[in-house]
Amino acid sequence: MSVMEKYEAVIGIECHVELKTESKMFCGCRNVFGAEPNTNVCPVCLALPGALPVPNAAAIEHMIRAGLAVGATIPTFSKFDRKNYFYPDMPKDYQISQFDMPITQGGVIRYWLEDGRIGECRLTRIHLEEDTGKSTHAGSTDGRIAGSTFSLVDYNRAGVPLMECVSEPEIHSAQEAVAFLESFRRTLLALGVSDVKMEEGSLRCDANVSIRPLGATELGTKAEIKNMNSFRSVQRAIESEIARQIEIVESGGRVVQETRGWDEARGVSVSMRSKEQAHDYRYFPDPDLVPLEIGAERVNALRATIPPLPIERFERYTGTYGLNVKQATQLIDNGSLAEFFDACVRVSKNPQSATNFVLGDLSRLANESGIAVSDSGVSPEHVGELIALVESKTINSKIAKDLVERMWKGDGSPKAIVEREGLAQTSDPSAIEGFVLAVIEANPGPVAEYKAGKTNVAGFLVGQIMKASKGKADPALVQSLLKAKLE
């Protein structure tokens, strides 16, 4: 047993997701990324005296839909609380958040791994709060203030609706942590509640990592890893942290509770601060905001707007339809293609053929043209017709391939094209025999070679026969008839 195998890693994920809304959480300022600093601000998000917050209904609906999608319950009553702490990027000196009565309770994130296994991790909580402003400190990578000793603060982000999601410590490897995050990200994208872009900070995540001897039930001392700016960083940072803790314990040391920042360039984490005790945020209900009351009718109406979820698609694609993990993931990560595929399966009742056309010729044409399959001239009904023509052996695969190209260009129904142009496959042995005999007569050289034992020239002769039939001959029949005539 290697040193690594003597331990089990225990990981919990905490992530913050900026919700996609027109305006901020408690005021009418625009919620957009990348504007000139301090241009999307007003008395409410700058906390000027007398300004009062008004909750954003769209953000609350996003929260409820996200909660329902992960199987959380939506309590009838919830409320906003003030989380008190001082930091210059927070103009009010408190953050409006939710403490003991969040909008959603519970929930589970289910995810899939590269080998197709499905895992799950329960959620401790998801709540709604407002984002803080953004500080840029001297000595940071921002060239404008290099070498100086002050900080700049941009309040455009202050007050942007923010979802905080905390998982239970039920993840045991870096791969599972990334799969968990990917699944959550895909779910939020499918719901349309966030852009979830790590590079723009609309998805930010931290990981709590500890180790314990394999088989132990008590949790070890954890370190919190911050500053991971891609899923690749998450993977590397967690792997490196597990190895660091094992090394400490193996050499007789003790892991200390601390916050560590991940340095992507150097591939190491660095201690930021020790965290011996919990902060005292002196939470209390925000007196400026009345509690939220959300009725069952409203919840049911929102439940009806939830689209097929990525994990449900994954189970259907790999389980019921027999797709492999790569094919299923490829479809799921292209929402409009997955919808197109689902429609093709509904029409054709043939998932395997639908997969071949959608991920094969149609995706190739989409890549070549830069036009999405769903925006092309091809409809799921036409794909269904094409599959039926192949299934009934009315056309062979060569004609099918040509038809896909023509459907892409907007030629319409493949069934109509086949009827109009007489493209139906020739399965009549006497007609095919005529083509075979003609080709044998026209190619005495290759025929002699074949008879002398060079049987690979058969491919050439089959090609000639297919050509003579204008591609319509049944290729299997051509091969068997040719073989019979030559031997």
Q: Which is nearer to Zn ion, 24 or 204 (CB)?
A: 24
- Compute the least distance from the CB of residue 79 to Zn ion, in Å: 22
Q: Taking CB under 5 A as the rule, does residue 358 contact Zn ion?
A: no
Q: Which is nearer to Zn ion, 46 or 424 (CB)?
A: 46
* 307 residue type, one letter: P
Site stretch for Zn ion (CB under 5 A), options 24-32, 63-71, 104-112, 230-238: 24-32
Q: Which is nearer to Zn ion, 132 or 355 (CB)?
A: 132
Q: Taking CB under 5 A as the rule, does residue 29 contact Zn ion?
A: yes
- Compute the least distance from the CB of residue 26 to Zn ion, in Å: 8
Q: Which is nearer to Zn ion, 44 or 378 (CB)?
A: 44
Q: Which is nearer to Zn ion, 39 or 455 (CB)?
A: 39
Residue with tokens 């001082």: 86
Burial (CB count <10 Å: 0-12, 13-18, 19+), residue 388: middle
- Compute the least distance from the CB of residue 44 to Zn ion, in Å: 5
Site stretch for Zn ion (CB under 5 A), options 28-36, 95-103, 178-186, 474-482: 28-36
Per the DSSP assignment, residues forming a β-bridge with 80 are none
Exactly one of 15, 27, 60, 153 binds Zn ion (CB under 5 A); that residue is: 27
- Compute the least distance from the CB of residue 28 to Zn ion, in Å: 7
Distance between first and last Cα of the chain = 63
Q: Which is nearer to Zn ion, 91 or 107 (CB)?
A: 91
- Compute the least distance from the CB of residue 54 to Zn ion, in Å: 11
Q: CA-CA distances (angstroms) from residue 353 to 47, 50, 116, 358, 374? A: 60, 65, 22, 8, 18
C-beta of residue 248 within 8 angstroms of C-beta of residue 255: yes
Q: Which is nearer to Zn ion, 31 or 425 (CB)?
A: 31
| Interface positions, 362-401, toward Zn ion (CB under 5 A) | none
- Compute the least distance from the CB of residue 195 to Zn ion, in Å: 20
- Compute the least distance from the CB of residue 131 to Zn ion, in Å: 12
- Compute the least distance from the CB of residue 17 to Zn ion, in Å: 20
Residue with tokens 């769903």: 374
Q: Which is nearer to Zn ion, 45 or 237 (CB)?
A: 45
Binding mask 34-73 for Zn ion (x = CB under 5 A): --------x-xx----------------------------
- Compute the least distance from the CB of residue 159 to Zn ion, in Å: 6
- Compute the least distance from the CB of residue 96 to Zn ion, in Å: 13
Site stretch for Zn ion (CB under 5 A), options 4-12, 23-31, 265-273, 284-292: 23-31
- Compute the least distance from the CB of residue 216 to Zn ion, in Å: 50
Q: Which is nearer to Zn ion, 13 or 59 (CB)?
A: 59
Q: Is the dihedral of CA 426, 427, 431, 436 positive or negative?
A: positive
- Compute the least distance from the CB of residue 344 to Zn ion, in Å: 46
**CA 262/CA 377 separation, integer angstroms:** 48
Number of residues binding to Zn ion, judged by CB under 5 A: 5
Structure tokens at 230: 């891609």
Q: Which is nearer to Zn ion, 157 or 236 (CB)?
A: 157
Q: Which is nearer to Zn ion, 52 or 256 (CB)?
A: 52
CA angle 248, 264, 135 (to 5 degrees): 110
Q: Which is nearer to Zn ion, 27 or 365 (CB)?
A: 27
Sites of contact with Zn ion (CB under 5 A): 27, 29, 42, 44-45
